[in-house]
A and B are shown apart, each in its own frame.
Chain A
C-alpha cells in the first residue's frame, strides 16, 4: 500500500468515527423506560430463579437459549479450526520445560483445576460461571502441552477424550432443556432440582447444572483448539 492510500484510509476512518461519535452523543437518554424488562429482572429475579447473581440469572435462565447459541458458536469455531488445521500425522512431542518448572506445575495444577471447578459451580452465587470456569479448565491442557510436552498431554488427555467431554457437555445442556418439556413445561425451563435456600450452593434450580455442561464444553473446546494448532509447529521443529 502506498502512502496516499494510507492517508486516504485514515481520513475516511476518522470521518466515520466522528460521525458515529456525534450521532451517538445526540441520542436521548431513555434508559429509565417504564416498561423495560430491566425493572422486572432487578425486582423479581431472586424469587423467580433463585440465583443471587443477576447476570447468571439472565444468562442461564431468562435467556438460556441465547447461551445455548453462544456456546454453539464456540463449538462451531472449534469444528472449523479442527477442519482447517487437522493433519493425519500424530503430534511430535517436545520435551517440555526444565525439571523445576515441571515440579512447580505438578503442585499447582490441582489447585488450578479446583479453582476452575469452583468458578463453574458457584456461578449463581459469585461472579463467574460456565464460560469463565471452562476457560480455566482449558488452560490445564495448555499447561500439560507446554510444560510436560505434547506427548504427555496426548496420553493423559487424548483428543478422543476431549471430544467426548465436549459432546457430553453440550448434550447435558440440551438434555436439561428437554427435561423441561418432559416435565410439562417448555424447552429450557428452570427445573427446580436444587431448591435450597437462596444463597446456598444447592440453590437456583437447574442453573448450576447448565453451568457444568457449558464449563465442560468450553474447556474441552479450547483445549481442542490449542491441540490442533500446535501440531504443525512441532512438525516444523523436527524438520529443522
Chain B
C-alpha cells in the first residue's frame, strides 16, 4: 500500500475544487494556492523517486494501491511500475513549468483556466496510474472535456471551430474506447488490467480482433494518426501557446502510454501479431509521418507547422514501437522524451515571439529575432534538435530510431526518417531565415505588445530558456536516461511481471 499514488491524483483534483472557492474571497490567495499545489505535486513525484531509489535501480519497482479496501479484481487498483513512473515524471516535470509559464502568459479568466489545467493534470495522472479499464475510460473522458474549453480559450471564431472539432472527434474516439470496454466486460466479466491480461488468451480469435480494433480506432482518433489527423493541426494551433505546448507535447504522450499499456501489457503484443494488425499499424503510422511532414512543408502558419510536425513525430514513435524489438522500444520511449521536451520548448518560445507579431504567418515573423535575440536563438537551437543535429536530444532519439529500423530490416522506415529530417530542415529554416531578416524599420516601432494577455515577460522567457537548456542538457547526458528506460522496457516486454505485481502478494 502506498499512499503517494492516490495523492498524485487527489492533490491536483482538490486544488481544482478549491480554486473557485478561494477565488470568491481573494485573487491573491488563489495565486498562492496554485503555486503551492504545483510545487506540492511536483515534490510528491520527486519523493516517489527518492524513497524507492534502490528498487528503481534494481528493476523491482512496483507500487500498488487498492481503492476502498477492495482487493482486485473486485475494486479499482492503482499501480505504478517503471513505465508509469517514466510517464508520470515527464508529466510532473512539464506541467510544473507549464503552470509557471501560464502565470506569466495568461492575463484574463485566470480562475477557470487554472481549474481546467489542474483537472487535466489530475486526469493525466489518473490515466497513467490506473489499473482498471473502465477507470481509464473515465479519465480519458475527463481529459477531453477539460482540454476542449482551453482550446477555445481565445474565444475567436478560429478557436471555437477548432474546439468543436476537437470535442467531436475526441468524443467519437472515446465512444470507440467505451464500446471496447463494454466488449471486454461482456467477454471476460472483469475490468482489472491484470485479470484481463491473464484471461485474454482464452477468448476466440474473432473477439480478440474486434476488441483490439475498437481500442485501436479509439486511441488513434484521439491521437490524430493519419486517416484521422485533420482535426489536430487546428486544435493544437488555435489555443494560447501554453495550451498548445500541453496538447502537442504532453497529452499526446499520455495517449501513447495508453497504447503501450493496452497492447503490450493488457492484451499482449501477440494479439497484434496473430491478427496482422501490427503491419497495418506500421504502414498507417509511416503514412502519417509522411503526410505530417508534407503538410508542415506546405504550411505558412508557424503554430500549425509545429502541429503538423507533431503528427509526423507521433507516426514515427508508433511505427518504431510496433517493431517490438528491445532497441525499437528503447528508441520509441526515448523519442517520447525527446519530442516532449522539444515540442514544449518550441511552443513556449514561439508563444513569446508571437506576442510581438501582427499574426502567425511567415511574413509576419520578418525580423522578429531582433526583438529578443536570445529567445529566437533558443528557437533555432531546438529546431535544430527537431531536425536531428548532434548536441540536442533530437539527435540521440533519431539515431536510435534509425538504428532500430535498419537492424530489424524495415528500410522504408529508415528512408522516411532521413527524408523527414530533410523536410524538417526545409520547413524550419524558412522561419529562422525570416526571423533573422534585417528590416529598415527599427524593431521598437514594429514590435509592440499586441495582445493584452501577456504581462510578465520575465517569467515567460525564463521558462522558455529552462526548456531550451533541458533539450541541450538531456541531449548531452541522454545515456543517464537509458537505465530507467530499460526498466520500463522490461515491464513492457514481460506482461507477467505486471500480472504478478497486481494479483500476487
With A65-B135, A66-B135 already in contact, the answer to whether A160 and B24 are too (CB < 8 A) is yes
**Is A180 on the interface with B (CB-CB < 8 A)?**
yes
- Is A3 an interface residue, CB under 8 A from the partner? no
For B145, give its contact among A37, A76, A177 (CB under 8 Å).
A76
Task: Tell me whether A186 and B189 are in contact (CB under 8 A).
Answer: no
Interface locus among B66-74, B301-309, B387-395: B66-74
Q: Enumerate chain B residues within 8 angstroms of A23, measured Cβ to Cβ.
A: 206, 210
Residue of A nearest to B126 (CB): A69
0/1 interface trace, chain B 57-87, chain A, CB 8 Å (1 if under): 0000000011111100111100000000000
Whether A186 contacts B183 by the Cβ 8 Å rule is no
A65 to B14, CA, bound (A): 14
Partner of A166, one of B3, B20, B113, B183: B20
Closest to B73 in A: A37
Is there an interface contact between A187 and B152, defined as CB atoms closer than 8 Å? no
Stretch at the interface among A27-35, A148-156, A230-238: A27-35
Bound Cα distance A30, B20 (Å)? 47
A171 to B68, CA, bound (A): 17
Q: Can you name the residue of chain B whose Cβ is closest to the Cβ of A44?
A: B74
8 Å CB interface, A121-163 against B: 160, 163
CB <8 Å contact, A63 and B75: yes
Q: Does B28 contact A (CB under 8 A)?
A: no
Task: Say how far A181's CB is from chain B's closest CB, in angstroms.
Answer: 7
A195, B18: Cα distance in complex, Å: 31
A167, B116: Cβ atoms closer than 8 Å:
no
Q: Mark B9-44, 1 if CB is under 8 A from A, else 0.
A: 010011011101100100000000000000000000
Report the interface size for chain A: residues with CB under 8 A from the other chain.
52
A73 at the interface (CB under 8 A from B): yes
Query: How many Å lie between the Cα of A185 and that of B75 in the bound state?
Result: 14
A65 touches B68 (CB 8 A): yes
B119 in contact with A36 (CB, 8 Å): no
B449-465 residues at the A interface, CB under 8 angstroms:
none
| Complex Cα–Cα for A3 and B183 (A) | 37
A57 to chain B, nearest CB (A): 11
Which chain A residues lie closer than 8 Å to B203 at the CB level? 30
> CB distance B14 to A80 under 8 Å?
no
Q: Is A84 touching B116 in the complex (CB atoms < 8 A)?
A: no
Cβ A174 vs Cβ B119 within 8 A: no
Residues from chain B with a CB closer than 8 A to the CB of A216 are none
Q: Which residues of A contact B189 (CB under 8 A)?
A: 30-31, 33, 35-38
Known A36-B190, A167-B18; contact A62-B75, beta-carbon cutoff 8 A:
yes
Known: A73-B141, A186-B68, A187-B10. A27 touches B206 (CB 8 A): yes
Residue A227 interfacial (CB < 8 Å) = no
- Determine which of A28, A84, A167, A189 lies in contact with B207 in the assembled complex, contact meaning CB atoms within 8 Å: A28
Closest residue to B167 on the A side, CB-wise?
A80
State the main secondary structure of chain B at its contact with A. helix
Chain B residues closer than 8 Å to A26, beta-carbon distance: 206
Partner of A83 from B109, B122, B204 at Cβ < 8 Å: B109
Pairwise interchain contact A84-B149, C-beta atoms closer than 8 A:
yes
How far apart sit A75 and B206, CA to CA, in the bound complex (Å)? 39
B115 touches A79 (CB 8 A): yes
Tell whether, in the assembled complex, residue A186 and residue B66 are in contact, meaning their CB atoms are under 8 Å apart: yes
Cβ of B346 within 8 Å of any chain A Cβ, yes or no, is no
Chain B: interface residue total (CB-CB under 8 A): 58
The verdict on A94 contacting chain B, using a C-beta distance below 8 Å, is no
* Chain B, range 209-258, C-beta contacts under 8 Å to A: 210
Asked if B21 contacts A64 (CB within 8 A), the reply is: no
Q: Is residue B6 within 8 Å, beta carbon to beta carbon, of the partner chain? A: yes
A88 to chain B, nearest CB (A): 10
The reply to whether B76 and A63 contact each other, CB–CB distance below 8 Å, is yes
B191: interface (CB < 8 Å): yes
Determine how close the nearest CB of chain A comes to the CB of B448; give it in whole angstroms: 26
Residues B119 and A72 in contact, CB atoms below 8 Å apart: yes
- Nearest-neighbour CB distance to chain B for A16, whole angstroms, equals 11
Q: How many Å from the CB of B433 to the closest CB on chain A? A: 38
Instruction: Note all chain B residues with C-beta closer than 8 A to A180.
Output: 68-69
Interface string of B122-151 (1 = CB under 8 A from A): 100010000000110011011001101110
Question: Which B residues lie within 8 Å of A36 (CB)?
Answer: 188-190
Whole-angstrom distance between the alpha carbons of A81 and B167 in the complex? Answer: 13
| Interface assignment of B441: CB less than 8 Å from any CB of chain A | no
Name the B residues within 8 Å of A188 (CB-CB).
67-68
Chain B's closest residue to A23 (CB) is: B210
Query: Is B496's CB within 8 Å of the partner chain A?
Result: no
Instruction: Indicate if the CB atoms of B187 and A170 lie closer than 8 Å.
Output: no
B112: interface (CB < 8 Å): yes
For A170, give the chain B residue with the smallest CB separation: B17
Is B480 in the interface zone, CB < 8 Å from A? no
B430 within 8 Å of A by Cβ?
no
Complex contact A27–B75 (CB within 8 A): no
Residue among A24, A63, A77 with the highest chain B CB neighbour number at 10 A: A63
Chain B residue at smallest Cβ distance from A33 = B189
**Which residue of B17, B115, B116 contacts A171 across the interface (Cβ within 8 Å)?**
B17
Cβ of B279 within 8 Å of any chain A Cβ, yes or no, is no
Contact of A80 with B145 at beta-carbon distance under 8 Å, contacts A69-B126, A174-B13, A174-B14 already known: yes
Q: CA A171 – CA B17 in complex, angstroms?
A: 7
Known: A72-B119, A186-B69. 5 other contacts (CB 8 A): A24-B210, A63-B134, A69-B135, A86-B112, A171-B14
Closest 4 CB pairs of A and B: A36-B189, A80-B149, A33-B189, A83-B112
30 A–B contacts, CB within 8 A, in A order = A23-B206, A27-B186, A35-B190, A41-B74, A63-B76, A64-B68, A66-B76, A66-B135, A69-B138, A69-B142, A73-B141, A75-B16, A76-B115, A76-B116, A76-B119, A76-B142, A80-B112, A80-B150, A83-B109, A83-B153, A84-B149, A86-B112, A166-B20, A171-B14, A174-B14, A186-B67, A187-B3, A188-B67, A188-B68, A189-B68
